[in-house]
Each structure stands twice: as C-alpha cells, then as structure tokens.
Amino acid sequence: MRIIPAIDIIDGKCVRLSKGDYSTKKIYNENPLEVAKEFEDNGIQYLHLVDLDGAKSKQIINHEILESIASKTNLKIDFGGGLKSNKDLEIAFECGASQITGGSIAANNPTIFEQWISTYGNEKIILGADCNNRKIATNGWLKESDLDVLNFIKSYEEKGIVYVICTDIAKDGMLQGTSNDLYKEILQKTDVNLIASGGVSNIDDLIKLKEMGCEGAILGKAIYEGNISLKELQKLC
C-alpha cells in the first residue's frame, strides 16, 4: 500500500482543517516546500497536494507551490483543488503534477471530466469521491449533492477510472479512525484502486487499510500533530 502524506494549502501555507470546515484552519508551516522536503528525506515517495483556495474558487490558485515542490523534490505529486477547466488541468500538469484528482468537476461537469480521462488516460486522472453521509460533496465540501458515493464510483469505473480517492468528510482531520465499513463496501463492489483518505490517527489504522486491500492511504493531521512519526512511516514504507 502506498503511503501518501497530504499538504493542504491556504494563502500559500501548509494547513489542516477539521471535517473540511475552513473556520477550523490550523497553520502548521508557512513553507510547504520545507514540509515536502522533510517527507522526501524520510523515504516518502508520494504527495497529495490540495489547493484549498482553488477548491472553493473558480480556478486553480496555488499552482506556483505545486511547481516549486515538483521542481525541487522527486516526489510524485497528485494535485487537486480548483481544477474546473481544461486550462486548469494544463497548468497542473505543466507545473509538475504526476496525477490530478477531480471531484467537483466529476460531479458538476461530467462531460469535461470524461474528456480528461480520454485525453490523459486513466493512470493520470484520479476520481475524487468525497462524501458526507454517503452523499458526494463538492466545491471545497461547501456543497452537498444527491449522488451516492458508491453509485458515483461505479459510474466512473464504467467510464474507465481506475484510481479513486474516497474521503469520508465526517472523519477528516478528526484523528478518530477511518471509514472502514465504507471502504470495505467499495472494495467488495468495485475493482478500482482505492486510496483511503480521512481519519487516520495511528499506524494501526494504516495497517488495517493495507490488510483491507486499499491501494493507498492519505494522511495529514496524524503527522502534523505527532501521532505518527515520519520514522514510523519510513518503516511501514
């Protein structure tokens, strides 16, 4: 299982939220590149980079940070947040993203998202399935749709998606464990490469996700709050 630390960006700074609530913002480092380099120095190979300003805006905002990290580390970066148009996608890949995650765009404008899958291939396009009470949330999680998360994933699996990041918003940033029942259901009823996100609180959570069959696990606050050390992650990797 791939271990994928997250860096969330607001105003150019590395932050974390609780349950996606922007009012709960906590700044952990004003230099995201410094954080990324520390990850790399401890054997981490992958990074989940989220433009939270872009997520609730109409376009990508923090692409210069993506470019800085991509050019000054060897991390393979999955980038999400604010990808609302073909131009945004071009900027993300030009700035060094290895993959991009589309969540809001997949729910709100499936025609464009399907075009991205066709144009760039399913190895580069990840489906972001972020949900609250099983309903897909969009626009920086500020809006909730009527789409059931499992049906949403299944519909895009039929259109060629092979990688899915699923975040249970109620768990995100709470350090209270992951949404294992939901992940088991997705793994049983689809053949996607599932990347679990939200709620990782300790090494045991990661081991459970690995045993369950998740292809990857994203974690953030557990690192920043010291619940999991980078040395522990290095051993797990």
Catalytic-role residue among 8, 53, 168, 172: 8
Catalytic-role residue among 53, 130, 168, 205: 130
pLDDT digits (tens, 9 = 90+) for 204-236: 999 999 999 999 999 999 999 999 999 999 888
Question: How far lies 135's CA from each of 50, 152, 159, 167, 223, in Å?
Answer: 21, 9, 20, 11, 28
- Structure token digits, residue 30: 């004003």
Judged by average pLDDT, the poorest of 118-127, 171-180, 210-219 is: 171-180
On average, the pLDDT of the chain sits at 94
**Is 21 tagged catalytic?**
no
Q: Whose CA is closest to 4, among 214, 225, 226?
A: 214
pLDDT band at 142 (very low <50, low <70, confident <90, very high): low
Mean pLDDT of 93-97: 98
Q: Where are the domains of the chain?
A: 2-228
Global model pTM greater than 0.85: yes
- The reported pLDDT for the residue numbered 232 is 93
Q: Are strands 76-80 and 21-29 parallel, antiparallel or unpaired?
A: unpaired
**Is 181 tagged catalytic?**
no
Q: In angstroms, rounded to a whole number, what is the distance separating the alpha carbons of residues 153 and 38?
A: 34
Is residue 47 within 8 A of residue 80, CB to CB? The reply is: no
Q: What is the DSSP string of 2-52?
A: EEEEEEEEETTEEEEEETTEEEEEEEEES-HHHHHHHHHHTT--EEEEEEH
- The reported pLDDT for the residue numbered 53 is 94
Question: How far lies 234's CA from each of 24, 73, 186, 230, in Å?
Answer: 29, 17, 28, 6
pLDDT digits (tens, 9 = 90+) for 27-55: 999 999 999 999 999 999 999 999 999 98
Judged by average pLDDT, the poorest of 68-72, 143-147, 149-153, 180-184 is: 143-147
- Name the superfamily (CATH) of residues 2-228: Aldolase class I (3.20.20.70)
Among residues of the chain, what percentage have pLDDT more than 70?
98
- The reported pLDDT for the residue numbered 140 is 60
Residue 156: partners with Cβ closer than 8 Å, 6 or more residues away: 106, 113, 127, 164
* CB-facing half-sphere around the CA of 175: CA atoms within 13 A: 12
- Structure token digits, residue 22: 């922007």
Q: Strand, coil or helix: what is 193? A: strand
pLDDT digits (tens, 9 = 90+) for 6-35: 999 999 999 998 888 889 999 999 999 999
- The reported pLDDT for the residue numbered 236 is 83
Q: In angstroms, rounded to a whole number, what is the distance separating the alpha carbons of residues 83 and 59?
A: 6
Q: In angstroms, rounded to a whole number, what is the distance separating the alpha carbons of residues 148 and 145?
A: 8
Q: In angstroms, rounded to a whole number, what is the distance separating the alpha carbons of residues 139 and 108?
A: 9
